[in-house]
Chain A
Amino acid sequence: MSNNFNFDAKIPTGPLADKWDRHMIDNPLVAPGGNRRKRTIIVVGTGLAGGGAAATLGELGYNVLNFCIQDSPRRAHSVAAQGGINASKNYQNDGDSVYRLFYDTIKGGDYRSREANVYRLAELSMAIIDQSVAMGVPFAREYGGTLANRTFGGVQVSRTFYARGQTGQQLLLGVYSALSRQVDAGTVKMFPRHEMLDLVVVDGKARGIIVRELMTGEIKRYAADAVVLATGGYSPVFYLSTNAVNSNATAAWRAHRRGALFSNPCYTQIHPTAVPQLGDYQSKLTLMSESLRNDGRVWVPGKAGDGRKPTDIPEADRDYYLERRYPAFGNMVPRDIAARAALVECDQGKSAHLSEQSVYLDFAEAIGRLGRDVVADRYGNLFAMYEEITGENPYETPMMIYPAPHYTMGGLWVDYNLESTIEGLFVAGEANFSDHGANRLGASALMQGLADGYFVVPRVVANYLAGADLKDTNPDAAEFKDVENDVQTHLRKLLSIKGNRTVREIHWDLGRVMWTKVGMARNREGLTEAIGRIKELRQTFWQDLALAGTDSDLNKQLEQANRLGDYLELGEVMARDALMREESCGGHFREEHKTEDGEAKRDDANFTFVSAWEYTGQDKEPVMHKEDLVFENVELKTRSYK
């Protein structure tokens, strides 16, 4: 462990509420017109953060190159977010404010995020709603025509805006419409089916990327004045997760290998309500939105091994364990707490009758109280999705649910300007580490994606371009050719192995190690074992991988193999980070560190810091640096939802 890295989070001075405004006044701008047009910015990713940034930079007049792996920017994984987006509008007059959203997010993140970043997020939340409404996002409305709200976990106000169970889709289509307009205007050039495989650094500054055009396999070089990564998180390191099957960490990981530090990799969010794993053929886990806990009650049979059907179990024999353990928040406790509570029950043999790793989410009470039509109006699409997968009707039989990897709070280290430790490389959305600490509250991912995309990135990138001393460079420069050469060599090496184990088989093995040892509950022995197992799997991968086809064609097996190679490195750093962090906080639960009643026990004296890992070479131990977290406005307390 060392601490020789020169950290400067560049947090503006002054009172919390003034920091962002002051910062904007204190920094230089780029004048409209020709000065902006001659600046090229690469944005990787077209989700809420990437697409939002690309469209907004285009509106401002910059020359934007926007890349995505999907066949259309409208399919970025933000599309899958179901429940909603938070904003401190206080439209419900229930006591909400910027400070309350800030405080809830800091507390929800178990006091492991930066105050200044989180406050800015809470401030910007309101403008996101205004912007999205003005763009024609069809949010749910009341009969009077005003915007409707619902409640999400970990808070006691109703501040979540939604569009049925498809909020992410609708916000993304809003971003996509703004992008489409800029593509037509010629400010944004769109590159669908292009995957970033490396970052080009010239004179210490991010100046370009190497991409693979997925349709043809062609490797291409692109140069720019700044690079923005908005490529999402790394949940698929667990193999089974709620993420899309093409979601991956390769762009972020390759940037890490080029010098960007990776922060808090062990902070992963296991979402409490997904459809349980039903077999080993499975390719993904399907999320059932957190909004269901507004009306659904979570329970298990009171006795271990109760084999009765849920509808045959009388009230007296049921344990509504969240309501029992957390009377103040009940079923609406934050995700990390609800997930771990399910694990505790299942470990005691109390589970739903069809799977030992599942609990019930029951709507009988809500249907009795509200009627079936109201429940169908609120959750109909989720119920239909559930029935399609399991063959069971949730209006009549309680849903079976179990936690599943869903989101990753860790990511590339960024300062207040979302700039990584590589100058000119900005990281937005889930790909950075900055706003959610050790646990993200529900409906806050969409908020962060759009805050970064619409508001933060356009300003901080402008500040950077106005002040940076950038030499001329182009894709034919030696630095670009060298990096392209590395990429080509890497791909050919994968194809030359000609072993016997498929990508899916090795990924499945990695996922099992990550889920059992680096999942919801972790301990020293398990983490040490995981580090060894992952190293072995990395060897298996490089010696026995089976691939067919070529690199000069559409070849999804090759794409997945290339991503898996990175997961096999990232997984080890996650385990190392979890091993280093001798405390429990948020999504990181160390069995050695808990209170008498089984709750997470932080160690503020020794662990109030952000870890930031430095890549030191293939198969070499990474080096950890620390950014100390300073709390000037919030008092660190034991997080309680009782």
Chain B
Amino acid sequence: MSDKGITINLKIWRQARGADKGNFVDYTVENVLPEMSFLEMLDILNEQLVKKGEEAVEFDNDCREGICGTCGLVIKGVAHGPHAATTTCEVRMRNFTDGETVTVEPFRAGPFPIIKDLVVDRLAFDRIQQKGGFVSMNVGSAPDGNAVPVPKVSADKAMDAASCIGCGACVAACPNASASLFVSAKISQFAYLPQGEPERVRRALAMVAQMDEEGFGDCSNHGECEAVCPKEISIEHIAKMRREYLRGAIRGA
């Protein structure tokens, strides 16, 4: 270890836009400080590449504080890296040792096609949301905010589910590439609230149908999704989604 920090050896997935295949490319970044974020370390790598006239490594990121859900890398084989309950942008370099080799891959899943390098297309999530992830309530027709009391426990459970940032780590971690945790979090949020009641059956059926349509796999209770979820969304919501779906399948929408 030099006195200015540690050295990290990277194996990064590179894939040209439109190409069917990519490959790992080795890079070394020196003088990495423990308090740097993982993405700041990649910024330094990109500066080195651009100065040499080489194309920067493309990776999605935006807020860099764990709330927007834009970033998503598989670091050392784990979606969002080694630390629980954090997004990729929150991973700090103090979690790595001097001279360590670190693999960096995109979130891989059939319904998340790679756009370029580490950037994937997650529009499938938007399309699922469009099928029922809302309360059909036009602006202007709302009653007073306190007109319908909501028990604190229900509001808290809805909030737990609503914390989902839509990053897709659950899909990347699942051996079946299932989107069940993501979809169930939205279904569950509305199922806990009286405002979601009128459409709860229709919502569950429509969102699950779209999830299947997009090619996401089914849930077989591995629990990998919950383990990597940066917002610690519980797989209890998947059980709730199944109940909501069953209710609809039996009674009809």
A548 and B195 contacting across the interface, CB-CB below 8 Å: no
Contacts of A458 in B (CB 8 A): 139
Name the one of A73, A91, A136, A283 contacting B39, with C-beta atoms under 8 angstroms: A283
Give the nearest-CB partner of B136 in chain A.
A181
Distance in Å from the Cβ of A226 to the closest Cβ of chain B?
18
Interface residue? A370 (CB, 8 A): no
CA distance A620 to B131 in the complex (A): 52
* B113 vs chain A, min Cβ distance (A): 11
Find the residue from B40, B63, B119, B158 having the highest chain A CB count within 10 A: B63
Residues of B194-210 at the interface with A, using a CB-CB cut-off of 8 Å, are 195-196
Answer whether A145 and B135 are a contact pair too, CB < 8 Å, given A75-B62, A245-B64, A283-B39: no
In Å, the complex CA distance between A565 and B50 comes to 18
Give Cα distance in the complex from A180 to B133, angstroms. 8
Q: Is the CB of B51 within 8 A of A136?
A: no
Q: Is B106 an interface residue (CB 8 A)?
A: no
The reply to whether the CB of A28 lies closer than 8 angstroms to some CB of chain B is: no
Q: Please provide the chain B residues from 84 to 104 with a CB less than 8 Å away from any CB of chain A in the complex.
A: 85-86, 90, 92, 94
Interface on chain B toward A: helix, strand, loop, or mixed SS?
loop
Nearest A residue to B44 via CB reads A281
> B34-69: contact bitstring with A at CB < 8 Å (1 yes, 0 no)?
011101100110110111011110101111111111
What's the minimum C-beta distance from A399 to chain B, rounded to whole angstroms?
15
B252 within 8 A of A: no
B69/A75 in contact, CB under 8 A: yes
1/0 contact string of B61-87 vs chain A (CB within 8 Å)? 111111111100000000000010110
Are A454 and B155 in contact, CB atoms less than 8 angstroms apart? no
A121 interface residue per 8 A CB criterion? no
A385-B66 contact, Cβ under 8 Å, with A554-B116, A556-B58 = yes
Tell whether A556 pairs with B146 under 8 Å between CB atoms, given A134-B135, A177-B133, A283-B39.
no
Whole-angstrom distance from the CB of A42 to the nearest CB of chain B? 20
Which residue of A is nearest B54, CB measured?
A: A548
- Docked-complex contact B145 and A89, CB < 8 angstroms: yes
- A75–B70 CB distance below 8 A: yes
User: Is A72 positioned at the interface, with any CB of B under 8 Å from its CB?
Assistant: yes
In the bound complex, do residue A548 and residue B139 qualify as a contact, i.e. CB atoms below 8 Å apart? no
Q: In whole Å, how far is A414's beta carbon from the nearest beta carbon of chain B?
A: 21
Q: Mark A148-177, 1 if CB is under 8 A from B, else 0.
A: 000000000000000110100110010011
Q: Are A502 and B50 in contact (CB under 8 A)?
A: yes
Cα separation A388 to B95 with both chains bound (whole Å): 11
**Residue interface bits A115-132, CB-to-B below 8 A is 1, else 0:** 000000000000101111
For A554, give its contact among B37, B63, B119 (CB under 8 Å). B119
Given A138-B158, A547-B50, answer yes or no on A79-B67 (Cβ-Cβ < 8 Å). Answer: yes
In the complex, chain B residues whose CB is within 8 Å of the CB of A388: 83, 86, 90, 92
The answer to whether B178 has its CB under 8 Å from any CB of chain A is no
For residue B152, CB closer than 8 A to chain A, the reply is yes
A91 to B40, CA, bound (A): 45
B86 touches A130 (CB 8 A): no
Chain A residue, CB-CB nearest to B166:
A74
The residue on A at minimum CB distance from B49 is: A548
Q: Is B126 close to A, CB under 8 A? A: yes
Chain B residues within an 8 Å CB radius of A74: 69, 126, 129, 166
Which chain A residues have a beta carbon within 8 Å of chain B's beta carbons?
55-56, 59, 70-75, 77, 79-80, 89, 91, 127, 129-136, 138-147, 163-164, 166, 169-170, 173, 176-178, 180-181, 183-184, 190, 192, 215-216, 244-246, 278-279, 281-284, 286-287, 384-385, 388-391, 454-455, 458, 500, 502, 504-505, 546-549, 553-557
